[in-house]
Structure 1
């Protein structure tokens, strides 16, 4: 388990990706993980964690791309923690952070490239 600042992940959201908003995103089971396949059409994987006011959070995930160099985008609503990560064809961990507006707390992931599928798994949130 990845740990940040000596703390375990917070139970702020349902880690079951089937409970997230995932229209046009296929979910599969692979190597003991639930994996979301983000197509190159802008479809978003999103959830609304129970963020606390005026707190900063780090979210971590693992991702890979069918076409190395394709990018995954993540942010909380309003551009908080905005990041585009170029990916490889192997699973690799990524993270970003920000202070969340709890009134608009959606957390998003999408394929920022218009080439091939991107795969994401093992999403976790930590208070920093």
Structure 2
């Protein structure tokens, strides 16, 4: 089965809100009650032989030092954290399409969602500590 069809079939079977944005792009929304208090939009895209999964985890916040994520990246596998110039935090994961199957798509989505949850929990804890 082609990678595009595999991803499309997997995303279409998920509960909740999902959408196809283009031939090789999809979006999934994790409800707020499952994503640390506000909805988590996860994007998936096949491009240049890779499936990329990414999600905006949290906006810039003075109480949270995004550079800590560089250390966290040393402890992660497949998924990683990044920070924009404005200090917004994202989580990404990539996998070659030649290695795709339902289990690996599920793992990538899970790692990105869990990474975003970790960032959101840590950010909330930083706020509690600074108050």
Tell me the TM-score normalised to structure 2 length.
0.36
Q: Indicate the structure whose relative CO is greater, using CA pairs within 8 Å and at least 6 residues apart.
A: 1
Q: From the two aligned structures, give the one with the greater helix fraction.
A: 2
